A and B are shown apart, each in its own frame.
Chain A
Amino acid sequence: MEPTLQVESLRTYFYTEAGVVKAVDDVGFSVRPSTIHALVGESGSGKTVTAQSILRIVPKPGRIVGGRIVFEGRNLLDLGERQMRMVRGRRISLIQQDPTATLDPMFTIQDQLVEAIMVTTELDREQAKKKARKLLEDVKIPGPENVLKSYPHQLSGGMRQRVAIARALAGNPKVLIADEPTTALDVTIQAQILELMRSLRDEYGLSIILITHDLGIVAQVADEVTVMYAGKVCESGSVDDIFHSPLHPYTQALLLSVPRVDKRVRLRAIPGNIPDLVQPPQGCRFHPRCPYAVERCSQEEPGLEKVGSQADHTLPSRSVYCHRFREIKLEVV
């Protein structure tokens, strides 16, 4: 099946005084229709910048310097600012991490939803008011009338995140980018928001790009996963493939660093720190922290390799960037 959104060798650099930060460097993955595609990685791995690049809202001094973002038959990087504005909110929209900061504190929920609806659709103010109410019902907010009249500070974090999701749905988008949507919420609310994401995928046929560092969340809701490290992709594949037979040592290390309650195993943190992105390591960016690294890893950058899916043969092939993935056998306890 034709992917909904395809990111190809995307490069987004930040031109700071300290040097050029290669926050996203040759990143590619594709998002299929009605799936939740997780972008996983540590902080600083380039997940958020990838999301901002898709919408072309990278803050200064960042700039997209190369690649293609193919969506509905067009390369988004070729569009003019005016055309791009018709994509934002209407075709692709965004939910942010911090629900306390994502709404304007000065306006009521109704004001903000009506504005979002009027920006992204052709509805007039009266119709927009009705739609605002319906959006709140869609994201399962009890008592939408009261919430509409409220200011953001009068709502709980979970409620604000639901409002933010409702706003993101205002223009009936095809793709929803959710940037750590549950990180700032407590676990019960987190479960409800994830449930909501699943129902949006199933009922609206949305493709969701779920950015997270939490593998637990990935296991709960994602269909496909792209693992990122230091501005590069490590591997992509279905959630079963990634969890049960990781091909990249970084993925394995991530899986081993998740605390487990079912087995008495020592938590294995990944040694070292995420590299400086102004002068990233030569060769594979993970090699200084990789237990399997050999001479070649520090000299030559690994290219894209495609392999068939172990878990499900109807899925497209997996991709991995590692010199040694065929030689080493990675185990996840």
Chain B
Amino acid sequence: MNIWGYVIRRLLYIVPMVIGITAITFFTVFAAAGNPVAIVEANDPELPQATLNALINYLQLNRPPAIQYLNWLWNVVHLNFGVSIQSGRPVSDIIWSWAWTTIYLQLAALAVSVALAIPISVYAAKRRNSLGDFVITGVSVFGISAPVFWVGEMLIILFAYDLGILPAGGAHSLNAVWPWSLGDYLAHLALPAAVIAYFNLGLYVRLLRSRLVEIMQSDFIMALKAMGTPERITVYKHALRNAITPVVTFVGLALGTSIAGAPVTETTFSWPGLGYEFVRAITNLDFPVILAIVFLISVMTMVSNIAVDILYVYIDPRVRVS
């Protein structure tokens, strides 16, 4: 089978999916019975009625919702995501400026969690049912189940308030200049990245450990031991390579959705990223921003799904036949 034909077909599926997802989002926001102009008015009661009417006209809020949605869609085809109701800035500018902070936060968290998940899972799998394994399982389950805002608050209390060694929020100090104030950026990155990494780490360790335990009991591992193969090769080359596939799926899918940022973590740490912006846009019913972010999340999720499928072909030779 031609892999490119397959990829193109998969990419084409994105179009109806995105239309469906954004339509549902649009009408949900609409049905939320909010009037964004009323929020503008509430924020600034001094505005004359004529201005508000002009705004309603400008945003075409007086037209039927279906027409509004189709208008939005037509503009999106022309890469025009409209302007934010709250700030009046073009939505694409907003996303562009906020996405970057989210991306580097997510990538830092991902790198840390994967780098730690591998040795920790190998340790736990090799010493299955030992005290160390139980501690690792406990800490991972805690990481998955403890609410991130709570873990975040605890870290803020400990490191920012009690110890005073790390900032409590934001992406950098006011006077910081990239890249000269690298230390300042890293200090701000530490806590939110740690919170996201801890959550992911728990997931990856649970997944990788159980897969490793299963693989390490398989015949081919026994065969390698019978050949006198050093444990380093048996575990890190063979067992890990076989166990890693579900983790790749997880990481791939997580990367897609992580573009949306982690709304809760970003809000906890006032991290100026897409997640934080998303929450703000929802509270203000700033629907051009909401729709643009939903659009971005859905496209990225589907693209990363496809990327994972393609990656599978390279990590598991058996996939190539089917």
A residues adjacent to B (C-beta < 8 A):
52, 55, 57, 59, 84-90, 93-94, 96-98, 101-108, 115-116, 119-120, 151, 153-154, 164, 167-168, 170-171
Partner of B238, one of A96, A97, A104, A171: A104
Known contacts A104-B238, A119-B227; is-contact A59 B317 (Cβ 8 Å): no
A101–B218 CB distance below 8 A? yes
A151–B220 CB distance below 8 A? no
Of B223, B238, B316, B321, the most chain A CB neighbours within 10 A belong to: B223
Known contacts A106-B317, A153-B318; is-contact A89 B219 (Cβ 8 Å): no
A102–B219 CB distance below 8 A? yes
Output the least CB separation between B218 and chain A (Å). 6
Residue on A with the closest CB to B318?
Answer: A153
Decide if B10 is an interface residue (CB 8 Å cutoff). Answer: no
Chain B interface residue count: which class?
20 to 34
Partner of A119, one of B217, B222, B230, B318: B230
25 examples of A-B residue contacts, CB within 8 angstroms: A57-B222, A85-B228, A86-B228, A90-B228, A93-B226, A93-B227, A94-B227, A96-B222, A96-B223, A97-B219, A98-B219, A101-B219, A101-B220, A102-B219, A103-B220, A103-B223, A104-B238, A105-B220, A105-B318, A106-B241, A107-B241, A119-B233, A120-B228, A154-B321, A167-B223
B217–A89 CB distance below 8 A? no
Partner of B222, one of A59, A86, A115: A59
Known contacts A102-B220, A104-B238, A119-B233; is-contact A88 B226 (Cβ 8 Å): yes
The complex places the Cα of A87 from the Cα of B227 at a distance, in Å, of 9
A94–B318 CB distance below 8 A? no
| Complex interface: chain B residues within 8 A of A52 (CB) | 222
The complex places the Cα of A52 from the Cα of B229 at a distance, in Å, of 15
The complex places the Cα of A104 from the Cα of B220 at a distance, in Å, of 6
Known contacts A55-B226, A90-B228, A115-B229; is-contact A153 B317 (Cβ 8 Å): yes
A115–B233 CB distance below 8 A? yes
Decide if B84 is an interface residue (CB 8 Å cutoff). Answer: no
Output the least CB separation between A65 and chain B (Å). 20
Known: A97-B219, A154-B321. 18 other contacts (CB 8 A): A55-B226, A57-B225, A57-B226, A86-B228, A88-B228, A89-B227, A90-B228, A101-B218, A102-B223, A104-B241, A105-B220, A106-B238, A108-B317, A119-B229, A120-B227, A120-B228, A167-B227, A170-B227
Partner of A88, one of B225, B241, B315: B225
A89–B228 CB distance below 8 A? yes
Output the least CB separation between B318 and chain A (Å). 5
B residues adjacent to A (C-beta < 8 A):
217-220, 222-230, 233, 238, 241-242, 315-318, 321
| Complex interface: chain A residues within 8 A of B228 (CB) | 84-90, 119-120, 171
The complex places the Cα of A87 from the Cα of B321 at a distance, in Å, of 39
The complex places the Cα of A164 from the Cα of B151 at a distance, in Å, of 51
The complex places the Cα of A167 from the Cα of B220 at a distance, in Å, of 12
Output the least CB separation between B286 and chain A (Å). 49
Residue on A with the closest CB to B238?
Answer: A104
The complex places the Cα of A45 from the Cα of B223 at a distance, in Å, of 21
| Complex interface: chain B residues within 8 A of A93 (CB) | 226-227
The complex places the Cα of A115 from the Cα of B318 at a distance, in Å, of 21
Residue on B with the closest CB to A177?
Answer: B226
| Complex interface: chain A residues within 8 A of B225 (CB) | 55, 57, 88
A105–B226 CB distance below 8 A? no
| Complex interface: chain A residues within 8 A of B226 (CB) | 55, 57, 88-89, 93-94
Output the least CB separation between B51 and chain A (Å). 66
The complex places the Cα of A57 from the Cα of B227 at a distance, in Å, of 10
A59–B217 CB distance below 8 A? yes
B217–A105 CB distance below 8 A? no
The complex places the Cα of A115 from the Cα of B233 at a distance, in Å, of 9
B227–A151 CB distance below 8 A? no
Of B228, B241, B318, B321, the most chain A CB neighbours within 10 A belong to: B228
Output the least CB separation between B214 and chain A (Å). 12
| Complex interface: chain A residues within 8 A of B233 (CB) | 115, 119
| Complex interface: chain A residues within 8 A of B229 (CB) | 89, 115-116, 119
| Complex interface: chain A residues within 8 A of B315 (CB) | 106
Known contacts A103-B220, A106-B241; is-contact A153 B321 (Cβ 8 Å): yes
Residue on B with the closest CB to A51?
Answer: B226
Known contacts A85-B228, A153-B318; is-contact A94 B242 (Cβ 8 Å): no
Residue on B with the closest CB to A106?
Answer: B241
